[in-house]
Structure 1
């Protein structure tokens, strides 16, 4: 990990710094840029690029003028595309299973969503909001989807409400406020939990796949070799190459050991008409939502948006750990990310896509490791998504377990574990971290984050000096309101273990 991890201990405002703060020399990026040959190492060059960038909000940020493309940008773009295919496929599959749709719906909607995602990536993260992370997929919502469908929820109504509530939170800067109220112990514990659970789930998934083809030894060999490769890349300070090399290693080893694989998804273009997707006898086969549809999905939408803050916070902190000092201006802006995710969600749902947005973790984590800002890799991600959607064959490779599992482990979950350990190694952070993990196991990460944030800010656990310096609003009012809202919504939809869903009783 970078020695600059001290920056994570500072709670900073999410409002963009002024021109005089970000660029005291008043020089443009082009004037301050130097070729990589002028530096002693590649790391020095990349860090210099981060310090001289001066992103502009709601104004064009152009390649060459405001930032440059580097080889390192291809790695997070590749990881993001793999993650996107997988996560949107998981959501589309869950909906298709719950609604009784045919398998062809899944593939066509995933291709459609890749094109929709590419368009909004270019508009926001590539040009107008270069500190907004890409609008990815809300993975924690996947287990909730069958509950939404069983309650009579409509996918368009669900998506539109998420977009509307998210935009309200972004405009009021509620997301950054909640992030600033979260101590390093709470955030570190959350990262540890997500990293461990994610790693364990992918290893389990790889073993299940290997067992299904009668070659369980393949999973062990792939994982063992991936560990050795990751350790060597760490030793050589080339960890940003972990995703492509691990995917290549995992896929090659599995195929060489006899694992079956073939390309099945032929090139093509999905149906681009919203009327097709929201027809009564085509696409979703649901027609347009009614007022009742919005009422049914309201508590689920509240829960989805409430779960954004801990997700966004973890991604922002990962940049703070890996970026050098004096690069705050290129850090992911939580409120801008919520804005772009909300707008993308609104239009994506109207167009007929199955995706529910959140901060794109499979992009921002590798980008932070590679010490690259958001915009250049974002444009490459958009390009890769379009290629995958139209070509088709890369989608087969991306969802093949030996490629998929190792990509998520080395690209997302192991780095999250490392970041969590880094954040909890100093000060009185272990108590808060332990409570986050404990309460997350009890219910889910959103519950664990909100409960521990309340206990930590009250001074019952963690650093007592930090608690004493907080205002009454920050110490107990805001954390209490957040915890009550989240717990209440979870009780409504049946996410509290052993407690029947209240909303089903009302129906």
Structure 2
């Protein structure tokens, strides 16, 4: 990665390009024997520039394949921000109108920031999405007196500090294939099972339990056929369309409810005493309460980013390393987006955008073009309103998440654990993650793996003292302390009294 980082930080041109620009090296798709060869060539000739303008058609092009991750990312964004806003609204006594308006507000904020950063200034920064693992912790934060503005600002500050010290890429380098593969397997399996259960519960709730079975079977057959035809990147639009049409044809109720419009755009409305959140501005206590959660949230970024980068590594052709998502740049993008969004009044807490980057990697597309389309789709959905209703309809939602994120996670995990001494580490990650959470599983197994107790012993010897012992041990202790403070260990009371049940 050092060669790639140096080239991106410098003039963006590697020796294998002969000093020519992207425009000079670009060829029309008609000159290639297959679409796959054309897309691979596009990745190999791109020269992303950090903190300098990257312009459409000059530094990258738009392709039909970019619409697929953009669509998947928009659907995932609506769903995840809705879940995040609802998790805050319930304990604060805020109604459905608050959730809807804040989601629309966040979609516009996300669109503008994604356009500026991932589409223009930081083309190797993955889009800043939503931090799903934080959702179950939000009621605890609210009950203890935490404030969403304090929470968001601290996450952004800690994220910038970690990125400046290149902590994210360091942790990625210290994570073996076995540890990373096991983490992907766990996340993919748990996510797939969860969405299947959600689909079944939805079908039973409307009195048509057979619909879930029909949709899931159809999705499996569709995915297998697309895999056979090497068109798996089409799984999101075809899967969502198929699921929606089948559900409606079999009698599932659906109607559009969200009319076109704009949410309140004034941050003072959202942070007023009697409007928006009805919380006013945070005090010092609010920052103290959310401190351990903010540390934990940023600590979760490294395994998240690592898992997403893996898809590019296994999908992109050789000599396309310049276009890999840069983990530290992604953390900068997430931090900037978090601070800006929280100050403006949004309910989102961010992390690397999985529902975008996974299908983008499968489709062999770089980040910036799809980022621009995602930004446009998010803003259109927020203002138009009706697409938001369709995206959160359970059959469409579950199908999108299964085929765009969770099944590809399983595939990538199995791919990473095929070779070398990886199965022990992978199994321990799954075991430890099931005990507490994926952050605990990742940090514990990375420590054991780097110490040479499991996995590849030669790799452990090559890491040196800091990589083998000091960094993994310090990281594990910090994470365990953060989790212990807020009571995340099963059966162990929280160290801080205000978090004890």
SS of equivalent to 2:19? coil
Match of residue 118 from structure 2? 125
Distance 1:124 1:449 in 2: 29
- Specify every segment of 5 or more residues in structure 1 that has no aligned partner in the other structure, as ranges: 1-10
Q: 5 Å matches for 1:83-482? A: 83-482=76-475
Residues 335-375 of structure 1, C-alpha deviation per residue, up to 9 Å, x if partnerless? Answer: 00000110110010000000001000000000000000000
Q: Structure 2: any 5+ residue segments left out of the alignment?
A: none
Instruction: Specify the SS of the correspondent of 2:139.
Output: helix
CA distance in 1, matches of 2:95, 2:139: 16
Measure how far apart 1:292 and its partner are: 1.3
Q: Which residue of 2 aligns with 1:495?
A: 488
Is the 8 Å Cα contact of residues 61 and 128 (structure 1) preserved in structure 2? yes
1:15 aligns with 2:5: yes
The alpha carbon displacement at 1:318 in A equals 1.0
The structural deviation recorded for 1:424 is 0.1
Aligned partners of 2:476 and 2:41: how far apart in 1? 41
RMSD: 1.1
Q: Is this contact kept in 1: 2:17–2:45, CA < 8 A?
A: no
Deviation at 1:227, TM superposition (A): 0.3
Contact 1:22 1:329 in 2 (8 A): no
Distance change >3 Å, CA 359–CA 13, structure 1 → 2: farther
Residue 435 of structure 1 contacts residue 452 of structure 1 at CA under 8 Å; is this kept in 2?
Answer: yes
CA deviation after TM superposition for structure 1 residue 504, in Å = 2.2
CA deviations over 1:123-142 (Å, ceiling 9, x no partner):
10000000000000000000
Q: Name the counterpart of 1:4.
A: none
Deviations 1:166-188 (A, max 9, x none): 00000110110011000000000
User: What secondary structure sits across from 1:82 in the alignment?
Assistant: helix
Contact in 2 for aligned 1:14/1:333 (Cα 8 Å): no
Displacement after TM superposition at 1:102 (Å)? 1.2
Deviations 1:369-400 (A, max 9, x none): 00000000000000000110000000000000
Aligned pair partner of 1:28 in 3, 21, 26 = 21
In the aligned structure 2, how far is the partner of 1:292 from the partner of 1:13?
Answer: 45
Partner of 1:114: helix, strand, or coil? helix
- Give the Cα separation in 1 of the matches to 2:474 and 2:144: 26
Instruction: State whether residues 185 and 424 of structure 1, in contact with CA within 8 Å, keep that contact through their aligned partners in structure 2.
Output: yes
How much has 1:20 moved relative to structure 2? 4.8
Aligned to 1:3: none
TM-score normalized by the length of structure 1: 0.97
Mapping for residues 1-80 of structure 1, pairs under 5 Å: 15-17=5-7, 18=10, 19-21=12-14, 24-80=17-73
1:5 matched residue in structure 2 = none
Q: For the Cα contact (< 8 Å) 2:91–2:142, is it kept in 1? A: yes
Distance 2:499 2:29 in 1: 64
How has the CA–CA distance of structure 1 residues 506 and 109 changed in structure 2, closer, same or farther, with 3 Å as cutoff? Answer: closer
- 1:180-203: CA deviation from partner (whole Å, max 9, x where unpaired): 000000000000000000000000
3-state SS, counterpart of residue 496 of structure 2: helix
Q: Aligned partners of 2:317, 2:475: CA distance in 1, in Å?
A: 33
Question: CA contact under 8 A between 1:133 and 1:359: conserved in structure 2?
Answer: yes
Q: Distance in 1 between matches of 2:189 and 2:110?
A: 29
What is the distance in 2 between the residues matched to 1:240 and 1:271? 36
Count how many residue pairs are aligned between Structure 1 and Structure 2: 497
Confirm or deny: 8 A CA contact 1:13 1:176 kept in the other structure: no
Counterpart CA distance in 2 for 1:407 and 1:174 is: 32
Task: Kindly state the Cα deviation for residue 506 of structure 1 after the two structures are TM-superposed.
Answer: 8.4
* Aligned equivalent of 1:7: none
CA distance in 1, matches of 2:469, 2:107: 42
